[in-house]
Amino acid sequence: MSRPPTPAEARRMGEQGGSALEAERLAFEAWMEGHCWALGAEWTGTEYVAPIEKVARTVDINAMMTRRMWAAWRDRAALSYAQEPAPVLAPPVVSVDCNRAPQPWPDPGQAGPPGRYQPGRGGGGG
């Protein structure tokens, strides 16, 4: 299972852009089709361009939307490929001493162990 990208990784990807793998482009077009969204542009082999953009000095808003969505798809895919797999952490070793006397719960006004929900200290509607 992979981890989400860090903000720094995402910023770098936005600045540099990801590589355009043909398999990702085809998956993107299938995803668009699955949503019943028109591409609004044609793939030229390097980018999406509307026919009107080829003959006139204009920006087609539908082609621009396709380019934005393609960039987001392509970059997110590239981020997931670039990630190191999350380290596999061994579960903690817990030993139980059945001869030890039970310990009382901490006073509600005191902080408990890290990570334990504390009513009134955040971490959920308490």
Q: What is the pLDDT of residues 3-61, one digit of tens each?
A: 788 889 889 888 888 888 899 999 999 999 999 999 999 999 999 999 999 999 899 99
Distance, in Å, from the CA atom of 49 to the CA atom of 62, rounded to the nearest integer, reads 10
Number of domains composing the chain: 1
Q: Is residue 52 part of a domain?
A: yes
pLDDT surpasses 60 at 118: no
Q: Is residue 66 part of a domain?
A: yes
Say whether 82 sits in a helix, a strand or coil.
Answer: helix
Q: Is residue 77 part of a domain?
A: yes
Task: Give the pLDDT of residue 123.
Answer: 46
Q: Is residue 92 part of a domain?
A: no
Q: Which tens digit of pLDDT belongs to each residue from 60-96?
A: 999 999 999 999 999 988 888 766 555 555 555 555 5
Confidence of residue 106 (pLDDT cuts 50, 70, 90): low
Q: Contact, 74 vs 28, CB < 8 A?
A: yes
Domain that holds residue 65: 21-82
Choice between 101 and 126, residue whose per-residue pLDDT is larger: 101
What residue spans of the chain are helical by DSSP H? 7-16, 22-34, 51-55, 61-82
Confidence of residue 108 (pLDDT cuts 50, 70, 90): low
pLDDT surpasses 90 at 102: no
Distance, in Å, from the CA atom of 69 to the CA atom of 72, rounded to the nearest integer, reads 5
Q: What is the mean pLDDT of residues 89-107?
A: 58
